[in-house]
Structure 1
Amino acid sequence: MKPRPSPGTTKQPRGIKVVIVGGGTAGWMAAVALGRLLVPAGGQVTLIESDAIATVGVGEATIPPIRTFHAMLGIDEDAFLTATGGSYKLGIRFEGWSRPAESYVHPFGQIGTDIAGLPFAAQWLRARQAGDAENLDRYSLEARAAETGRFSRPIANGDSPLSRIGYAYHFDAARYAGFLRAQAEAQGVTRREGKVVRVETGPAGIAAVHVADGTRPDGRPDGRPDRRPDGRIDGDLFIDCTGFRALLIEGALTAGWEDWSTWLPCDRAVAVPSSADAAPLPLTRAIAQPAGWRWRIPLRHRTGNGHVFCSRYMSEDQAVARLLDAIEGEALADPRVIRFATGHRRQFWSGNCIALGLAAGFMEPLESTSIHLVQSGLQHLLQMLPGTGAASSVVIERYNRVMTAEFVRIRDFLVAHYHLNARPETFWRDRAAAPIPEGLADKLTLFRHGGRIFRESDELFNETSWLSLLTGQNAVVEGHDPLCAALPIDRAATRIAQIEQVVTASLAHMPPHAEALARFERR
């Protein structure tokens, strides 16, 4: 009979060891989320990054789900905005996407309220067809506040539109990574400086990564801290945040690539910061260009500018020149060209390795979804997190299926922007004539016949988002929901006009965006 262990000597099972390879926004988002949840349970989280490897730094504009992510992590909004030079965002203004002189706002938050038991959209479409309704933006508090430079956080009164304000942020991506790093290290995450020079594979997938030493080519120390000769770092779970290189998921495990350049052919972006606006609007601008589009993102300390384009229709030199000519204010750095391919890994999770951020896939930042896809990948991972043993094939297959569906639905939303255009340039005519994915074709057909919009399960973009896009870019709609006939058109028009009046009254209670940001400048 084996002796019983004495009190205090019982060996506790070790927690899961997670190794995150790569820093930047994706790496540190993973570190702060996993550190908060795993370290208190005895787990270990190590992040490996090299100061010698630059990050892409995309993702300065976000969408409202980031607030849920921050709430889960206990991140204070004021501290976050102060640290990152952040500003508020109420939506995206699309300029020239249908025709050169037209624009519309894709707002966050709710548009209108139900009328006679039917969604506002159904009654508004019927009234607009009868000439009894204004443009959709008139009924969105967020759209009108964004255009007029006003902002307010939601108030406590649940009956007011001011209590339901939907918003997100603009922020400096490099500062955000630094902010998250401080949060993660305070939670017990270990940062390891160095370049991964070898990936060791095994039956589970990745067995370990080897980090280079810190010596110069002549063998002398380079003075950088926390380096060890060919340090071997093993783990139970590896998170690939190595950007477009996809060092683990593709370089070592050959997860495969699903190419979407047929539907989204833009393959270059030029980025350059410029001086800050005196009175920044709380919106992202997406401005159509002859072979792509241009973004403008107002932060408190600077403005982010970029030009996404297709190299088959415009050279890099031409794209840089167009961006520099369009900048409002002084350029603060030299333009930086980023080359990319649109698509995703065929396997986001392979063996014991999960790809996040650019290692998982890329879609141009037209609807500010880059950071959301990192967040979504993390949230699904946390739901299916394995222990120290291998994850079951069912878990891995489900994760890959869910993430593929997320990417596909966002892809279709982006493709719709290009498909529904009436611009004259060759690039745009080609985009309008190109075949579209089957799921998008179904959505457009449903909208054409009666203005119906259906949200698929947990699809990111809801009915309001699709309505803003489809009506903003003049998608064809024939007829309306027959149930609208239960309410006479004049009564529906009266109710719609009342909604506009409530929005107008609410707008008057929102201070200027610059005033909302001023308190951060005083810190």
Structure 2
Amino acid sequence: MRDGSIKKLVILGGGTAGWMTAALAAKVLGKVIDITLVESDRIGTVGVGEATIPPIIHFNRALGIDEREFLTATKGTIKLGIQFENWLRRGDSYMHAFGSIGKNLAFCDFHHIWNRSRLRGDTSSFWDYSLNYQAAINNKFAPLTHIQGTNLPGISYAYHFDAGLYAQFLRRYSEGRGVKRIEGMVKEVRVRSDNGFIQGLLLESGLEIDGDLFVDCTGMAALLIEKTLGVGYEAWSQWLPCDRAMAVPSASAKPIVPYTRSIAHEAGWQWRIPLQHRTGNGLVYSSKHWSDDRAREALMSNLDGEPLAEPRVIPFRTGRRGEQWCRNVVSIGLSSGFLEPLESTSIHLIQTAATRLMKMFPHRGIRAEEVAEFNRQSRVEIEHIRDFIILHYKANQRRDSDFWRDCEAMGVPDTLSEKVELFRRTGKVFRDYDDLFSEAAWQQVMIGQGIVPEDYHPVADALSEEQLGDLMASLRTMIDGTVNSLPEHEQYLPNVG
């Protein structure tokens, strides 16, 4: 660290985390720092994070990536939301659809208007007023910025893609912008005796790689942040009881739907993610309630195409690293913590950590105040996501297995219970400024999980009965007409439509 300046960034580990970090660093800081990424082809990656949420679009755009090129390279498809099946009760389903729902009034979100109408006998679904949902279930898509002839927002979308292909795509991008990739296994991590900072990496080949700042993207191995610096882990298994996943690809099914499916089973849930060339499948489950053999049987008997490989088991522990940034090491990806993929946040947490690092990148020395603020933001972000995921488990009405009864009976963080009770009593839900999920997201999951408000905002009473009926009918007409005019989802995909 010459003159205290941070000039050499070393990223240990490739995969999605390593190459997303390298790509963003090359774009933002490539002219002022040297960037080296060390990885070994002998080490596999988890590689099941194939579903994303809308902010990934901003990440790709920030890098200057062309969407068609990206979709072609990653075998990507469009994602308009997540369909939750059997979560409230067997046979029930709802969607966490991206984007807005209905039309908000001043100081009053649309769900208050819908709830007033419902309490007066209207049997329409909340999702009748979601453009994203209606497009998803009708297998339609086009990148609309607004509903034609109105000021109502259009479609909000994300992607499904092959995470391994995305990492390769970003590797080419990064190397083209000066990132140096070194193949090799770490033999020894060298630590400075004066301050405990990491000085460099000694590879099995004998090559020594020094750096000023290190990014740990070694996954659950956490080679730098935990095994070297000893930063502990805060486990959340008391709220998120699943501790294993089993993943297997299967042949692509038709049609290729523009949404993720999350199908609850007796001891957890199954994901189904449609790509252009295959379907990603996985079972998330509690080892306390199911054996691996039982999970394998359930997964393999519930595929929509022929399996393309043997299923592999991925043990995990939900929680967060005590400090995501310690000394001169920043952990990004699974080394920093893990939240099961229920709301497709794994890749997003990589994106926000890499973005946060770029915003707070140290100049002349690593400052304790900067590190503390980075860690504070990281903690708040992941705790908000944690609460949102817990909500799905807690608010179930299934009585068909010990797993679901245990989930319904468990205590939850006060931050979640207070939000749920406020919504249940008043219909009001408020998003903290640093909460990833919008008010519409919270509304959909709570209503979908059977938490329907007892009351609504008084502004909703400003509409006469006639105005209320006209508004609800006109919204449905606009949405239905827009969806009918959209092309099929597969027509938007390269090499498919």
Under a length normalisation based on structure 2, what TM-score does the superposition of the two structures give? 0.96
Task: Write the mapping of 1:250-265 to structure 2, written as runs, cut at 5 A.
Answer: 250-265=226-241
1:220 matched residue in structure 2: none
More displaced stretch, 59-68 vs 203-212: 203-212
Counterparts of 1:46-445 in structure 2 under 5 Å? 46-115=36-105, 118-132=108-122, 134-154=124-144, 159-160=149-150, 164-202=154-192, 203=195, 205-213=197-205, 230-387=206-363, 389-424=364-399, 425-445=401-421
Take 1:445 and 1:513, find their aligned partners in 2: how far apart are those partners?
A: 38
SS at match of 1:233: strand
Code of the aligned partner of 1:127: S
State the SS of the aligned residue for 2:283: strand
Q: Displacement of 1:295 after TM fit?
A: 0.3
CA contact (8 A) 2:425 2:453 kept: yes
CA shift in 2, pair 1:408/1:431, >3 Å: same
- The aligned amino acid for 2:24 is A
Say how many residue pairs are matched.
493
1:93–1:286 contact (8 Å) kept in structure 2: yes
In structure 2, relative to structure 1, the CA distance for the partners of 1:159 and 1:201 (3 Å cut) is: farther
Q: 2: CA distance between counterparts of 1:452 and 1:250? A: 41
Distance 2:13 2:151 in 1: 42
Q: 1:111, 1:80 → 2: CA distance? A: 29
Relative distance call for 1:310 and 1:423 in structure 2 (3 A) is: same
Query: How big is the alpha-carbon RMSD for the aligned residues of Structure 1 and Structure 2?
Result: 1.8
Farther off after superposition, 477-486 or 425-434: 477-486
SS of corresponding position for 1:326:
coil
Stretches of structure 2 lacking an aligned partner (at least 5 in a row) = none
Q: Which of the residues 17, 24, 39 maps onto 2:30?
A: 39
Q: Quick one: which amino acid aligns to residue 419 of structure 1?
A: K
Shift in Å at residue 438 of structure 1? Answer: 0.7
Q: Deviations over 1:146-197 (max 9, x none)?
A: 1111111125777557962100000001101000000000000000000112
AA aligned opposite 1:21: L
Pair 277,442 (structure 1): closer, same or farther in 2 beyond 3 Å: same
Once the 2 structures are TM-superposed, how far is the Cα of residue 403 of structure 1 from its aligned partner? Answer: 0.4
Aligned partner letter, 1:336:
R
Task: Read off the aligned partner of 1:209 and give its amino acid letter.
Answer: L
> How far apart are the structure 2 equivalents of 1:405 and 1:14?
29
- For the structure 1 residues 247 and 434, does the alpha-carbon distance in structure 2 shift closer, same or farther, using more than 3 Å as the test? same
- Deviation at 1:89? 0.4
Q: Distance in 1 between matches of 2:379 and 2:296?
A: 33
The alpha carbon displacement at 1:97 in A equals 0.3
Distance, in Å, in 1 between the alignment partners of 2:370 and 2:35 is: 21
| Distance in structure 2 (CA, Å) of the matches to 1:326 and 1:379 | 38
Give 1:198 shift.
Answer: 1.0
8 Å contact from structure 2 (residues 147, 154) kept in 1: no
TM-superposed CA distance for 1:296, in Å, is 0.2
C-alpha distance in structure 2 between counterparts of 1:261 and 1:13, whole Å = 41
Cα 1:49/1:162, change in 2 over 3 Å: farther
Of structures 1 and 2, the larger Rg is shown by 1
CA distance in 2, matches of 1:161, 1:520: 34
| Cα distance in 1 between the residues matched to 2:96 and 2:473 | 21
1:113 positional shift: 1.1
Structure 1 moving runs of 4+ over 4 Å: 11-15, 155-163
Q: 2:434 aligns with which of 449, 453, 458?
A: 458
Shift of 1:491: 2.0
Amino acid at match of 2:20: M
CA pair 40-95 structure 1, distance change in 2 beyond 3 A: same
Equivalent residues of 1:161, 1:503 under 8 A apart: no
